[in-house]
Amino acid sequence: MIKKINLAEKFSMFDEYWSPKIVAELNGQQIKLARLKGEFVWHQHENEDEMFMVIEGILTIKLPGEDLILNSGEMVVIPAGVEHMPVADEEVCIMMFEPLSTLNTGNLQGDERTHENLEWL
Amino acid sequence: MIKKINLAEKFSMFDEYWSPKIVAELNGQQIKLARLKGEFVWHQHENEDEMFMVIEGILTIKLPGEDLILNSGEMVVIPAGVEHMPVADEEVCIMMFEPLSTLNTGNLQGDERTHENLEWL
Protein backbone atom coordinates (compact mmCIF):
# COMPACT_ATOMS: atom_id res chain seq x y z
CA MET A 1 0.00 0.00 0.00
CA ILE A 2 1.56 3.26 -1.14
CA LYS A 3 0.27 6.21 0.86
CA LYS A 4 0.98 9.86 0.44
CA ILE A 5 2.44 11.84 3.32
CA ASN A 6 1.00 15.24 4.16
CA LEU A 7 3.50 17.27 6.16
CA ALA A 8 0.96 19.55 7.86
CA GLU A 9 -1.06 16.53 8.97
CA LYS A 10 2.03 14.80 10.34
CA PHE A 11 3.12 17.91 12.24
CA SER A 12 -0.34 18.14 13.80
CA MET A 13 0.23 14.72 15.40
CA PHE A 14 2.91 15.80 17.88
CA ASP A 15 4.08 18.82 19.79
CA GLU A 16 7.24 17.80 21.65
CA TYR A 17 10.41 19.69 20.84
CA TRP A 18 13.69 18.03 19.84
CA SER A 19 12.04 14.66 19.35
CA PRO A 20 12.26 13.69 15.67
CA LYS A 21 9.52 11.50 14.21
CA ILE A 22 9.97 9.19 11.22
CA VAL A 23 7.56 9.63 8.31
CA ALA A 24 9.26 7.64 5.55
CA GLU A 25 12.09 5.25 4.81
CA LEU A 26 13.85 4.77 1.48
CA ASN A 27 17.19 3.43 0.33
CA GLY A 28 18.49 3.03 3.87
CA GLN A 29 17.58 6.62 4.70
CA GLN A 30 14.77 8.10 6.74
CA ILE A 31 12.73 11.25 6.39
CA LYS A 32 12.09 12.75 9.80
CA LEU A 33 10.07 15.68 11.08
CA ALA A 34 10.85 17.65 14.20
CA ARG A 35 9.66 20.68 16.10
CA LEU A 36 12.50 22.71 17.57
CA LYS A 37 12.52 25.52 20.08
CA GLY A 38 15.47 26.86 22.06
CA GLU A 39 19.07 25.74 21.84
CA PHE A 40 20.13 22.18 21.15
CA VAL A 41 23.71 21.14 21.87
CA TRP A 42 26.94 21.28 19.90
CA HIS A 43 27.49 17.88 18.29
CA GLN A 44 28.67 16.18 15.16
CA HIS A 45 27.89 13.00 13.26
CA GLU A 46 31.04 11.05 12.51
CA ASN A 47 29.69 9.06 9.60
CA GLU A 48 26.55 10.78 8.43
CA ASP A 49 25.87 13.92 6.48
CA GLU A 50 22.70 15.54 7.77
CA MET A 51 20.11 17.61 5.92
CA PHE A 52 17.89 20.19 7.60
CA MET A 53 15.04 21.76 5.66
CA VAL A 54 12.81 24.40 7.23
CA ILE A 55 9.11 23.83 6.62
CA GLU A 56 7.88 26.65 8.85
CA GLY A 57 9.69 29.20 11.01
CA ILE A 58 13.30 30.30 11.19
CA LEU A 59 16.19 28.05 12.17
CA THR A 60 19.71 29.09 13.01
CA ILE A 61 22.42 26.49 12.46
CA LYS A 62 25.49 27.51 14.40
CA LEU A 63 28.69 26.32 12.76
CA PRO A 64 32.30 26.91 13.78
CA GLY A 65 32.84 30.53 12.83
CA GLU A 66 29.44 31.34 11.34
CA ASP A 67 25.69 31.18 11.79
CA LEU A 68 23.41 30.05 8.97
CA ILE A 69 19.88 31.42 9.10
CA LEU A 70 17.34 29.20 7.35
CA ASN A 71 13.85 30.37 6.49
CA SER A 72 10.92 28.35 5.23
CA GLY A 73 11.87 26.73 1.91
CA GLU A 74 15.58 26.69 2.71
CA MET A 75 17.83 23.75 3.55
CA VAL A 76 21.42 22.94 4.33
CA VAL A 77 23.56 19.81 4.32
CA ILE A 78 25.95 19.50 7.26
CA PRO A 79 28.78 17.17 6.18
CA ALA A 80 29.85 14.34 8.51
CA GLY A 81 32.35 15.49 11.09
CA VAL A 82 31.28 19.14 11.15
CA GLU A 83 30.20 20.42 14.56
CA HIS A 84 26.90 22.23 14.58
CA MET A 85 24.18 23.41 16.93
CA PRO A 86 20.61 24.12 15.84
CA VAL A 87 18.97 27.08 17.59
CA ALA A 88 15.36 28.21 17.27
CA ASP A 89 14.37 31.45 18.99
CA GLU A 90 10.75 30.69 18.12
CA GLU A 91 9.23 27.35 17.25
CA VAL A 92 10.35 25.93 13.94
CA CYS A 93 9.18 22.87 11.99
CA ILE A 94 11.85 21.03 10.08
CA MET A 95 12.31 18.01 7.84
CA MET A 96 15.48 15.92 7.93
CA PHE A 97 16.88 13.33 5.56
CA GLU A 98 19.32 10.98 7.26
CA PRO A 99 20.71 7.43 7.16
CA LEU A 100 18.99 4.90 9.43
CA SER A 101 22.04 4.90 11.70
CA THR A 102 21.84 8.59 12.59
CA LEU A 103 21.45 9.49 16.26
CA ASN A 104 20.02 12.95 16.91
CA THR A 105 22.81 13.96 19.25
CA GLY A 106 25.56 12.43 17.08
CA ASN A 107 28.75 11.91 19.09
CA LEU A 108 26.98 12.74 22.38
CA GLN A 109 25.33 9.36 22.76
CA GLY A 110 24.49 9.52 26.43
CA ASP A 111 23.09 13.04 26.38
CA GLU A 112 19.77 13.70 28.06
CA ARG A 113 18.48 14.85 24.68
CA THR A 114 19.37 11.60 22.93
CA HIS A 115 16.44 9.70 21.40
CA GLU A 116 17.34 6.13 20.49
CA ASN A 117 14.06 4.63 19.27
CA LEU A 118 12.20 7.14 17.20
CA GLU A 119 8.47 6.97 16.78
CA TRP A 120 6.87 6.53 13.34
CA LEU A 121 3.99 8.82 12.47
CA MET B 1 32.12 26.00 2.65
CA ILE B 2 28.63 25.15 3.84
CA LYS B 3 25.97 27.04 1.92
CA LYS B 4 22.27 27.09 2.40
CA ILE B 5 19.98 26.13 -0.47
CA ASN B 6 16.94 28.25 -1.22
CA LEU B 7 14.41 26.26 -3.22
CA ALA B 8 12.68 29.24 -4.84
CA GLU B 9 16.03 30.62 -5.97
CA LYS B 10 17.07 27.26 -7.43
CA PHE B 11 13.77 26.86 -9.28
CA SER B 12 14.24 30.33 -10.80
CA MET B 13 17.43 29.10 -12.47
CA PHE B 14 15.78 26.74 -14.96
CA ASP B 15 12.55 26.27 -16.83
CA GLU B 16 12.86 22.99 -18.76
CA TYR B 17 10.38 20.27 -17.95
CA TRP B 18 11.34 16.70 -17.02
CA SER B 19 14.99 17.61 -16.59
CA PRO B 20 15.96 17.11 -12.92
CA LYS B 21 18.71 19.32 -11.48
CA ILE B 22 20.91 18.35 -8.54
CA VAL B 23 21.03 20.74 -5.59
CA ALA B 24 22.68 18.62 -2.90
CA GLU B 25 24.45 15.35 -2.27
CA LEU B 26 24.64 13.47 1.04
CA ASN B 27 25.27 9.90 2.12
CA GLY B 28 25.31 8.62 -1.45
CA GLN B 29 21.97 10.27 -2.17
CA GLN B 30 21.07 13.34 -4.17
CA ILE B 31 18.41 15.98 -3.72
CA LYS B 32 17.00 16.98 -7.08
CA LEU B 33 14.53 19.57 -8.25
CA ALA B 34 12.39 19.29 -11.36
CA ARG B 35 9.65 21.10 -13.18
CA LEU B 36 7.05 18.80 -14.66
CA LYS B 37 4.26 19.39 -17.11
CA GLY B 38 2.31 16.84 -19.10
CA GLU B 39 2.66 13.06 -18.97
CA PHE B 40 5.93 11.28 -18.35
CA VAL B 41 6.20 7.58 -19.16
CA TRP B 42 5.44 4.41 -17.24
CA HIS B 43 8.67 3.15 -15.71
CA GLN B 44 10.15 1.58 -12.62
CA HIS B 45 13.46 1.65 -10.78
CA GLU B 46 14.72 -1.84 -10.10
CA ASN B 47 17.00 -0.99 -7.22
CA GLU B 48 15.99 2.42 -5.98
CA ASP B 49 13.08 3.72 -3.95
CA GLU B 50 12.12 7.16 -5.17
CA MET B 51 10.65 10.08 -3.22
CA PHE B 52 8.55 12.80 -4.82
CA MET B 53 7.63 15.89 -2.81
CA VAL B 54 5.48 18.63 -4.30
CA ILE B 55 6.81 22.13 -3.64
CA GLU B 56 4.28 23.95 -5.81
CA GLY B 57 1.39 22.75 -7.95
CA ILE B 58 -0.44 19.44 -8.16
CA LEU B 59 1.15 16.18 -9.21
CA THR B 60 -0.61 12.95 -10.10
CA ILE B 61 1.39 9.78 -9.64
CA LYS B 62 -0.28 7.01 -11.61
CA LEU B 63 0.26 3.60 -10.04
CA PRO B 64 -1.07 0.22 -11.09
CA GLY B 65 -4.73 0.42 -10.08
CA GLU B 66 -4.80 3.88 -8.53
CA ASP B 67 -3.87 7.52 -8.94
CA LEU B 68 -2.26 9.46 -6.10
CA ILE B 69 -2.87 13.21 -6.14
CA LEU B 70 -0.14 15.19 -4.40
CA ASN B 71 -0.57 18.84 -3.47
CA SER B 72 2.05 21.26 -2.20
CA GLY B 73 3.49 19.94 1.07
CA GLU B 74 2.75 16.32 0.22
CA MET B 75 5.13 13.53 -0.71
CA VAL B 76 5.19 9.87 -1.55
CA VAL B 77 7.81 7.14 -1.63
CA ILE B 78 7.58 4.78 -4.62
CA PRO B 79 9.29 1.52 -3.64
CA ALA B 80 11.81 -0.06 -6.02
CA GLY B 81 10.13 -2.23 -8.62
CA VAL B 82 6.78 -0.42 -8.60
CA GLU B 83 5.69 0.95 -11.96
CA HIS B 84 4.60 4.56 -11.90
CA MET B 85 3.96 7.49 -14.19
CA PRO B 86 4.03 11.13 -13.04
CA VAL B 87 1.44 13.35 -14.70
CA ALA B 88 1.07 17.11 -14.31
CA ASP B 89 -1.91 18.79 -15.95
CA GLU B 90 -0.41 22.16 -15.03
CA GLU B 91 3.19 22.94 -14.21
CA VAL B 92 4.40 21.48 -10.93
CA CYS B 93 7.67 21.96 -9.02
CA ILE B 94 8.96 18.91 -7.18
CA MET B 95 11.86 17.79 -5.01
CA MET B 96 13.23 14.26 -5.14
CA PHE B 97 15.51 12.20 -2.88
CA GLU B 98 17.30 9.48 -4.77
CA PRO B 99 20.50 7.40 -4.72
CA LEU B 100 23.30 8.60 -6.97
CA SER B 101 22.63 5.68 -9.29
CA THR B 102 19.04 6.64 -10.14
CA LEU B 103 18.18 7.27 -13.77
CA ASN B 104 15.09 9.40 -14.31
CA THR B 105 13.48 6.92 -16.70
CA GLY B 106 14.43 3.87 -14.59
CA ASN B 107 14.25 0.69 -16.65
CA LEU B 108 13.75 2.66 -19.90
CA GLN B 109 17.39 3.58 -20.32
CA GLY B 110 17.33 4.51 -23.97
CA ASP B 111 14.18 6.60 -23.82
CA GLU B 112 14.21 10.02 -25.43
CA ARG B 113 13.39 11.46 -22.02
CA THR B 114 16.43 9.88 -20.34
CA HIS B 115 18.92 12.32 -18.83
CA GLU B 116 22.25 10.71 -18.02
CA ASN B 117 24.40 13.56 -16.74
CA LEU B 118 22.37 15.86 -14.61
CA GLU B 119 23.31 19.46 -14.12
CA TRP B 120 24.12 20.88 -10.68
CA LEU B 121 22.49 24.15 -9.72
Residue B92 belongs to a domain? yes
Give the Cβ contact number of residue B3 at 10 Å: 9
Q: What is the pTM of this model?
A: 0.92
Tell me which DSSP letter residue A7 carries. H
The pLDDT value recorded for residue B97 is: 95
pLDDT grade, residue A93 (50/70/90)? Answer: very high
| Residue whose C-alpha is closest to residue B10's, from A31, A73, A115 | A73
Residues sharing a CB contact under 8 Å with residue A9, sequence separation 6 or more, in sequence order: none
- Which amino acid, residue A45? H
Give the Cβ contact number of residue B73 at 10 Å: 18
The pLDDT value recorded for residue B25 is: 96
A75: nearest CA in chain B? Answer: B5
Whether B63 has a pLDDT exceeding 80, the answer reads yes
Q: How many CB pairs (< 8 A) connect A and B? A: 91
Q: Report chain B residues touching chain A, CB-CB < 8 A.
A: 2-8, 24-27, 29, 31, 48-51, 55, 63, 68-70, 73-79, 82, 97-99
Query: What ipTM is given for this predicted complex?
Result: 0.91
pLDDT grade, residue B84 (50/70/90)? Answer: very high
The pLDDT value recorded for residue B32 is: 96
Residue B83 belongs to a domain? yes
The pLDDT value recorded for residue B110 is: 75
Q: Which residue has the higher pLDDT, A108 or A92?
A: A92
Are the C-beta atoms of B106 and B45 separated by less than 8 Å?
yes
Residue B119 belongs to a domain? no
Residue A92 belongs to a domain? yes
The pLDDT value recorded for residue A109 is: 72
Whether A116 has a pLDDT exceeding 90, the answer reads no
Q: Mean pLDDT over residues B54-68, rounded?
A: 97
Whether B112 has a pLDDT exceeding 90, the answer reads no
Residue A94 belongs to a domain? yes
Mutation target among A1, A74, A77 for the B interface, most CBs of B within 10 A: A77
Residue A51 belongs to a domain? yes
The pLDDT value recorded for residue B11 is: 98
Helices (H), B1-121: 7-11
Q: Are strands A59-63 and A21-26 parallel, antiparallel or unpaired?
A: unpaired
The pLDDT value recorded for residue A117 is: 79
SS (H, E, C) B92-110: EEEEEEEECCCCCCCCCCC
B24: nearest CA in chain A? Answer: A77
Q: Mean pLDDT over residues B85-91, rounded?
A: 97
What mean pLDDT value characterizes chain A?
93
Whether B117 has a pLDDT exceeding 90, the answer reads no
User: Which residues does chain A have within 8 Å of residue B121's beta carbon, measured at their own beta carbons?
Assistant: none
Residue B14: domain span: 7-99
Residue B118 belongs to a domain? no
**How many whole angstroms separate alpha carbon B19 and alpha carbon B3?**
24
Of B48, B73, B99, the CB nearest to A7: B73
Per-residue pLDDT reduced to its tens digit, A36-76: 999 999 999 999 999 999 999 999 999 999 999 999 999 99
**How many whole angstroms separate alpha carbon A48 and alpha carbon A35?**
21
Per-residue pLDDT reduced to its tens digit, B39-55: 999 999 999 999 999 99
Give the total number of structural domains in chain B: 1
Residue A2 belongs to a domain? no
CA A45 from centre of chain: 12
CATH assignment at residue A74 = 2.60.120.10
